[in-house]
Chain A
Amino acid sequence: MSLPRVAVIQFPGSNCEYETARAAELSGLSARVVRWNRAGGLAGECDACILPGGFSFQDRIRAGAVAAKEPVMDAVCEMAARGMPVLGICNGAQILVESGLVPGWSPGRIEASLAANHVPGRSGYLSSWIFVRTGPHATGSPWLCRAPQEPVPLPVAHAEGRFVLPAGTSLSDLEQRGGVGLVYCRPDGSGAGGFPWNPNGAGFDLAGVANPEGNVLAMMPHPERACMLWQVPANLPGPWGDRRRSRSMEAVSRGPGASIFDSLAAYLGVPQG
């Protein structure tokens, strides 16, 4: 049986594509970086696609706005419509939002924003480690079905990561439509309570938003930067930090971000060890 194929789309200015492909491979998938103008018939050539992090088109006008209009996104929209797994990480998430694929209530229409970070006393790019937990529909998601119950530490690094939904949208609306993919929280799993555990002022502490079918997920944290245990900071609080500090940590020990890629592998039928 040949391995399921993941296409990682490289836009002009993407910069996380190689480690994202590696992370997918570490979970037992076959991954390929595909240039934005060489996408061809994407849906026929891969089983899932990932829009990686970076600065496509230098975030000009607005992060993700220009990349969303590239012809390759026609193919990504087609994949999404066919129920195939599509993940956007950081800049990839911004592109999915500006393409109308997420929250995806009327696909093609822009119904959300990943706006400039809004935190007290600070503007601009922020690099930090945060914790997330999954929303209520995780078990059915190709990206979250293997995510653990307890809070997962992940790194964020962005200037425009604040999820904004149309005025009047309530959290229960969003939950019912399957939109709550990932939520920022404290290390013990309780509510983030603003900055710093919510690093950017996102509404409802949203770190990842999914479409109603659950096959498309737009997430701001970077799982590919935490799929190995040695990538985790040595002074992280909680059980992942304890594992990192432990003398028995190996160079091959897996990290908290692996579950995103393990979920896809399980969903696509790769036997999980």
Chain B
Amino acid sequence: MDEALKVAEFVGRMPTPVELHLFDTMWSEHCSYKSSRRLLGTLPTTSPDVVLGPGEDAGIFRFASIDGTGWDIVVAHESHNHPSQVLPVEGAATGVGGIVRDVYRMGARVTGVMDLLRFGDPAGPAGAKARAIVRGVVSGIWQYGNALGVPNLGGDTTFHPGYDENCLVNVVAFGAVRHDSIVHSRVPAAAASEPYVLILMGKPTDSTGFGGATFASADLEDGSLHAVQVADPFLKRVLTEANFAALALLAGEGVEFGFKDLGAGGIACVSSELAASGGMGVDLDLDRVPVSRDDLPPEVIACSETQERYGLAVPERLAERIVSIYNEEYALPALHPGAGAAVIGKFTAGDEYRVSFRGGEAACASVEAITRGIYHERPWAGSTPAPVEPQTRPFSCPLDIRAMALSLAACSRRPVFSYYDSEVQGTTVFRPGEADSCVSIPVPGCPSGLAAAGGGSPWIGALDPYLAGTSAVSEAVRKIVATGATPLAATDCLNYGSPEKPEVMWQFRRGVEGIADACRALGFSGGSPLPIVSGNVSFYNQTAGGKAIPPSPIVAVFGRIGVAARAVDMSLKRPGDLLVLFGPRRDELGGSLFYREILRYPGGRPPSFEGGLEKEMALAVLDWTGRGLVSACHSVGEGGICMTAIEMALATAPSLRCGLDLRIGPDPVELCAENTGYLLEVAPDLVPELPPFSSVIGRVTDDFSLSGEGWRLDLGDIEARWMDLLASVVWREE
């Protein structure tokens, strides 16, 4: 209500329906970050490698130079949580569709996507629904990504009962662009001296997802019927090819132009943002928008979120040629009824945003007012209780290790990524499951590899919202470093409950502080922090009854390795090689797989953040891998080093079948602590001087087992079940 009065103030009279919807959409949490903007300003966003930080749809950092041409990587990270809970297939598919658009529209070709998924407990009381959502989300991701031709290069799948009614679907897209060909999303300065028009290309506008931006900010109600967002990767693929042809034409003509994709807020958002960032106004004619039906009211045409649409701000004299690329060369209208390109408006001097419809004026407001958005100062309050350790910690070895390996948390995710095409484009070096991070070669002809990985644990989040942020960053950094890549930039998506609740606002603030502190400690470019170059906030992830999800900041990190072919995977290579541990074990098992799965204990002290040690170890791993000393490397994660070791052995080539023998007895802290660390396989004749935080803890054997002092776990005995458990529970409902 407050907000409606504010709209009236801005337009100086009773707002028209179009204006109400316009402001409502543009001022939604999703579009304007009204609760979070100021706090996000505390994150580090610059480093010598950053070309474009947060502000546009995607972030850009320098990657490589080949034959004198500089190449940059474009990255974007978003969530599509609420729609996926209601329509898992379409929600996830349009999530992928939306995120790739953010990268395409910077002029880059998308070379990979990642999906970071959080679902409810598949074996719990709400398990049937959780399982159906897993099946639907995975299906939506493969149907869209495989068809579009972007390889799935990583992600993770985590289960926690806190997501029973609020799944999280975070998607990341990345791609490569020539430094001199980056496309911006503002009306260029040239529009002041010659007429520029706005061309809309893609699907005909319909009522799909109307109010979808505000949908993301309202509680989910059971059985709610929202207009279906139908994903169309086929049209997107053809549209993408046509876009590249149009961009090439514009580059050939040497003109400036603006390019934007339509997501939340539809035409309203794109036209106002293009205009505002160029300091201009815009006259929009809704009658010229290609629509799917003749009876759509103007507010729907202006604000609907129909997928697969882009906007181009180009000189009027080139408009006809551009339009014919879409309508004739790529024959969009023949492939999808009503699809195509049309000129729908023109840019004007001044600050007015005017919309006309059926000969009348449907809206007139200030561009600045619409796009500035509003900000709510939200109160926050909360504290982390002192951790309480369990009274006893009985540990049965190897039976408990076996139980941990065969838990839903630790079993193989191959059943998920076997649905994904991870090799389309022919640039993949490491697929999901082979190494800590997927590695690909994004720039043709350049040997450098791009590594990408994500992190974020709800178990840590539930115990300490500050550590939720630090651990998300450090987990992702370790995964990049383990393959031999140097971290260059990061993105984040901050998923929380309602910001109107002081406790949630406190969790959010602590999470942002944690991310900022970890980024400052883990920069690898001179003295700069690790920069966050793009990100997203998703609030209102809570049940109808008001119960919020555990604090869930999710961070993706990107790194570069000079020669991709030398990246290091996790599979063991040679019996006789030594196993080196970086990172002494700490008695900080709160949130660990051992406490949760074996002791069924939800509390305890989680691993603290040791920025200095984290950085030193990362530099040492990069030094060793850079010198070619490391045959396999895997960072310590869920389950501690016993799981890390098991994963390295299970990844081994079937013709080799190596195992590991550790100099460790049945000690739960040594084997199950999840604080920071790495395991490295090094040939005995290559082991360098051991840094203080490292020790040789075992060796590779030709016995397909994990063994220690006085215990042995046969891996042949668990392998088939470990590979198949997720499939049997979620897909075959066994």
Contacts and interface: CB of A to CB of B under 8 A. Distances in A.
Direct contact of A and B (CB under 8 A): yes
Most buried by B among A13, A35, A238: A13
Interface string A228-267: 0111011111100100010101110000000000000000
A227 B146 CA distance: 21
- For chain A, give the interface size range: 35 or more
B424 to A, nearest CB: 6
Interface in A13-66: 13-16, 18-19, 22-23, 35, 37, 53-55, 57-60
Contact of A247 (B431, B441, B628): B628
Interface string B710-734: 0000000000000000010001100
B321 to A, nearest CB: 17
A16 B653 contact: no
A146 interface: no
A225 interface: yes
B732 A53 contact: no
Interface residues of B, number: 52
Most buried by B among A35, A128, A235: A235
Contact of B237 (A13, A125, A225, A234): A13
Nearest to B650: A235
A213 B491 CA distance: 55
B421 A157 contact: yes
B124 interface: no
B426 interface: yes
A16 B423 CA distance: 10
Most buried by B among A12, A126, A241: A12
Contacts of B246: none
Contacts of B651: 235
B628 A125 contact: no
B423 A222 contact: yes
Given A58-B147, A231-B429, A125 B419 contact: yes
Interface string B420-453: 1111111111110011000001001001000000
B234 A12 contact: yes
A222 B419 CA distance: 16
B417 interface: yes
Interface stretch (B288-296, B300-308, B565-573, B665-673): B565-573
B417 A237 contact: no
Contact of B426 (A22, A234, A235): A22
Given A12-B234, A187-B655, A234 B571 contact: yes
Given A15-B424, A125-B142, A237-B653, A58 B419 contact: no
A125 B146 contact: yes
Given A16-B424, A22-B444, A235-B571, A122 B331 contact: no
Contacts of B424: 15-16, 19, 53, 157, 225
Contact of A225 (B417, B423, B444): B423
B432 to A, nearest CB: 9
Nearest to A222: B423
A18 B240 CA distance: 14
Smallest CB-CB A-B distances: 6 pairs: A15-B149, A19-B426, A58-B234, A237-B655, A55-B147, A235-B571
Interface of A: 10, 12-16, 18-19, 22-23, 35, 37, 53-55, 57-60, 121-122, 124-128, 155, 157, 187, 222, 224-225, 227, 229-231, 233-238, 241, 245, 247, 249-251
Given A241-B653, A245-B573, 20 more contacts: A12-B238, A12-B335, A13-B238, A18-B425, A22-B426, A53-B424, A54-B237, A55-B149, A121-B727, A122-B727, A126-B419, A157-B421, A157-B423, A225-B426, A230-B564, A234-B435, A235-B434, A237-B655, A249-B565, A251-B447
